[in-house]
Structure 1
């Protein structure tokens, strides 16, 4: 059985695909950045060019 190594960032508006090994984990979800993981409460965007979150 293969394990998932890439998945879409758990932030709904984010377009990024993140490695489960390198992701920021919060509440058993995987995020591409601390900004996405905190729900963009104090940080805007995710610093990846072309992403509109």
Structure 2
């Protein structure tokens, strides 16, 4: 059995890879930040990570 410890942020345009134990979990999906988890509401852009413009 393989345990996944890292995965791509569930926000489609986001480029980040997050540790499952540090990710923001919402509805069974893992996100790198609260902005991504909230679907970039209110026109939020980016997740705050360098080089990522989701």
TM-score bucket of the superposed structures, by smaller chain: over 0.9
Q: Which ranges of structure 1 fall in alignment gaps of 5 or more residues? A: none
TM-score by length of 1: 0.94
The equivalent residue for 1:48 is 49
Write 1 or 2 for the structure with the bigger share of helix: 2
Count of residue pairs brought into register by the alignment: 53
Q: Deviations over 1:11-52 (max 9, x none)?
A: 001000000000000000000000000000033210001001
Q: CA RMSD in A?
A: 0.8
After TM superposition, the runs of 4+ consecutive aligned structure 1 residues lying more than 4 A away are none
Q: Which ranges of structure 2 fall in alignment gaps of 5 or more residues? A: none
TM-score by length of 2: 0.92
